[in-house]
Amino acid sequence: MKELTVDATLENIPAVTDFVNEQLDEHGCSMKAQMQIDVAIDELFSNIARYAYNPAVGAATVRVELKEDPLCVVITFIDHGMPYDPLKREDPDVTLSAEERGIGGLGIYMVKKSMDGVAYEYKDGQNILKITKNL
């Protein structure tokens, strides 16, 4: 397991993505899975940056664990911001046009659809969001 702690700012998304991709490259992750993970990182870390500490800036930790049987990566996003479970939000109705749909919710919906597992808990004053992708 490796982890990186940075300020939760939009400017740090590339650093977080590079950190995770280094771990994925070491384990021969497919390009398709890596691209799906990159989209999830962008969505999840940008939500932390925009909302967790608003208007202040706080730290966020990203933890990468590779597991076997089945071979998968578990990426954990941890922040000490306001408690918020994005999984409680109702999925958007993707059969509606963009104009008919409400604002928000599409990013986390995409994460849920592209990952093999997504879990949230609030524990010890921390938001803990885990995504799992089978490799």
d(CA 51, CA 134): 29
Q: What is the pTM of this model?
A: 0.91
Helix axes 106-114, 31-47, angle to 10 degrees: 150
Determine the Cα–Cα distance for residues 130 and 15; give it in Å rounded to an integer: 19
Taking the C-alpha atoms of residue 27 and residue 111, their distance in angstroms, rounded to an integer, is 22
What confidence category does residue 70 fall into, taking pLDDT thresholds of 50, 70 and 90? confident
Would the pLDDT of 103 be above 90? no
Per-residue pLDDT reduced to its tens digit, 21-36:
999 998 889 999 999 9
Mean pLDDT for the chain overall: 91
Q: What does the alpha-carbon distance between residue 78 and residue 4 come to, in Å, rounded to a whole number? A: 10
**Structural domains of the chain sorted by starting position, each given as residue range(s) with its CATH number in brackets:** 2-134 (3.30.565.10)
Q: Name, in order, each residue with C-beta under 8 angstroms of 34's C-beta and a sequence gap of 6 or more.
A: 21, 24
Interatomic CA distance for residues 115 and 107, integer angstroms: 12
